[in-house]
Amino acid sequence: MRNEMKALVKARPEPGLWMETRPVPEIGPDDVLIRVKKTGICGTDIHIWNWDDWARRTVPVGLITGHEFAGEIVEIGRNVEGLSIGQRCSGEGHLIGRQSRQARAGKFHLDPATRGIGVNENGAFAEYLRLPAFNVVPLPDEIDDEIGAILDPLGNAVHTALSFDLVGEDVLITGAGPIGIMAAAVARHVGARHVVITDVNQDRLDLAARVADVEPVNVARQDLREVEHMLKMKEGFDVGLEMSGSQAAFDQMVENMVMGGRIAMLGIPPGKSPVDWSRIVFKALTIKGVYGREIFETWYKMIAMLENGLDVRGVITHRFAADDYREAFEIMRTGKSGKVVLDWT
């Protein structure tokens, strides 16, 4: 095997990423080495490209970026059991500690010592990735590398959507980005009655309508109350999935929830946002913050749903060779795409 590889690196403290030659990672006794085949570009990667305040505080210069991937195991550490060379896989990009109360209780997704590949540690935008064997998620034959490369964001959508019982419920999703669109598809797959997704980006709403059986609403042009009336809803939405990070969208969601409604929040508002807590209290709303995926319950559920007919391939709108990453990132940054996948083969 070669001892050098191509890797997409945050080489300088300024906007952009750069393709460099790096050594192939050496693995430890509890690690595997994965030959990366496909990767997805995430909103987090756009923050790193743009070198915004969050990225400057968080990401070390010189880091190999990227955390959405699928590939093949090519080397196994001496302590690793249950995995084999040649096995296709994706993987959980959150590297957990083992000492916290949450980790020791098996609530790995809540471990405060978590570090992320492609954010804190070298990531998957490369020909090879070192990953703890614990984090590896084998892929069944029914899930190809392209879908395997977007399981990380699909996991965010599944974790958020399954935060509350959706069977027979009316669901409002604010934010028609790729994760919001996939959450809409999940909600319909598990039995929600009406699923409404809102945004002000018409391209994203049109994509949502193609991918999932949902009612897309451009709130800059259409009144949400009129949509509820059209759907013969009488009291508001039972469940809200906030995916936008927009204060206005969250306020609109609160206003349109049923008494005792439940909201799962994945979107992150910038900075501190004013909230009318009286509306939340007087409506007796439950709000749950969602971070990443439940390790590994979410992975089991989403793989089972994909094997049972959940179809999210339409959310992938663009595919590029890894060498064409600049064009791929530019399309992502326009907001006129769904998921963008890079091919490292």
Give which of 29, 253, 41, 297 is closest to 158, Cα–Cα.
297
Single out the catalytic residue among 39, 44, 65, 160: 44
Do 80 and 43 meet the contact criterion of CB atoms below 8 Å apart?
no
Single out the catalytic residue among 21, 39, 47, 334: 47
CA atoms of 332 and 135, how far apart (whole Å): 27
Q: Mutual orientation of helices 43-50 and 325-334 as an angle, nearest 10°?
A: 100
- Which residues lie across from 117 on neighbouring strands? 121
Sheet holding 195-199, edge to edge: 215-218, 195-199, 171-174, 237-242, 257-265, 286-289
Greatest extent of the chain over all pairs of C-alpha atoms, in Å: 64
CA atoms of 286 and 10, how far apart (whole Å): 40
47 in catalytic set: yes
Residue the block writes with tokens 């094997």: 307
Q: How many CB atoms lie within 10 A of CB 209?
A: 15
- Transcribe 305-322 into DSSP letters: HHHTT---GGGEEEEEEG
Positions marked active-site: 44, 47
